[in-house]
Amino acid sequence: MPLARAEKSEELNKPKPISIEDLQTGFSNYFDDVPDPRVERTKQHLLKDILVIALLAVIAGAEGWEDMENYGISKLTWLQKFLKLPNGIPSDDTFRRVFEKLDPKMLEQKLAQWINQLIGSISQEVIPIDGKSLRGSYDRQKGVKNLHLVTAWASEHRLVLGQVKVEDHSNEITAIPALLELIDITGAIITIDAMGTQAEIVRLIRQKKADYVVTLKSNHPTLYNQVKTWFQMAKAQEFEGIEVSQDARTEKGHHRVQIRKVWAVSVAALGGLYKQEQWTDIQTIVFVERVRHLWNKTTLEVQFYLSSLPVDAQLNGRVIRQHWGIENQVHWTLDVTFNEDQCRIRSLNSPQNLALLRRMALNAINQETTLRRSVRQKKKRAAMNDDYMMQILKCLCQA
């Protein structure tokens, strides 16, 4: 009897799957208005069907066009429940041609649309922005360099907010403003590494009513040397006579011990900064010292940051620590779990479009929380179990 009650309780607590009607409505909301890049006479398959199969296939582990076709063929009976498929499953060549021609900005807008509906405000959330290269996307014969993308990550919600391509012969300095225009960052805290530490980017962040914590390195030599020299003198004197906020943490793991010390001081404590007027609303200079004790050596690293946040070492230290989430939870996952760096798809718009599908898939998988497993195991379950795939799609279509 107790076993029967337990089974009944488990059945009651089991999440309700999304209905076929809601699934169709959700996909229509996202994909019906995407412009079709094909000429009319070549349209044997609906664009929405192609996009949906591609996304589901990537969630299930697809890495290329043949994988998408195979997924569609394997799941034909199930897919026919919510897709029209007037001429069956598209071929691998059809997937390739569509994603070569499809404007990536349309998928970028769809990603932003989903995020806005899903989480609304991201006030007080840390939003790291960082770049990543797709190492397999180069074409040496055609002189095409590998694709480089700049991504924004909502650390608390574990969601990719947006992605922008770094144009050829350019760098992240031009891509970051485009990304900031794509997403609503009102009330958020933006973190950027040294490449994005530019006065114009800081001004844009404040204009969009967000705060910033940005890394200061030697690409701003005069300011960097001013801050570095002041810190060395102040630390040697144990910050005597200086109003300073301090925090210290010790972390153990992976056969190492790391001691992290954070000091935060007001800009006024330095007597002003070199060209301070360029750094909109700057309040705080942050110093972070990391001492790592490894099994065979000890390393010391000191980094400096410019911040519009109050003089609070604990707050600024937490924000800086969360910046690395984009490396561990996005870039590492895309490389190791989605094999992004190994992908040799490289023609026209296809590398960028497939990268967007991976990020949409990662978001959907992260939002499904009923199965407490790794992203890799969730992908495998979705490939094998249509009911679980429906559970992931529920997170996508009922945002």
**pLDDT computed for residue 173 by the predictor:** 82
CB-based contact 365:159 (threshold 8 Å): no
**pLDDT computed for residue 312 by the predictor:** 94
Does 264 score more than 60 pLDDT? yes
**pLDDT computed for residue 327 by the predictor:** 85
- Domains of the chain by residue range: 2-102+368-397, 110-332
CATH T-level topology, domain 110-332 = Transposase Inhibitor Protein From Tn5; Chain A, domain 1 (3.90.350)
pLDDT tens-digit series, residues 51-61: 999 999 999 99
**pLDDT computed for residue 137 by the predictor:** 58
**pLDDT computed for residue 7 by the predictor:** 45
Give per-residue burial for 272-300: e unless 16+ CB within 10 Å, then b.
Answer: ebeeeeebbebbbbbbbbeeeeeeeeeee
- The alpha helices in the chain, defined as continuous H runs, are 2-13, 20-31, 47-59, 65-74, 76-79, 92-101, 104-119, 172-182, 199-207, 221-236, 313-323, 325-326, 332-336, 350-367, 375-384, 386-397
**261/267 Cα distance (integer angstroms):** 19
**pLDDT computed for residue 50 by the predictor:** 94
CB-based contact 72:57 (threshold 8 Å): yes
pTM for the model stands at 0.85
pLDDT tens-digit series, residues 100-139: 999 988 888 888 778 877 776 677 789 999 888 776 555 5
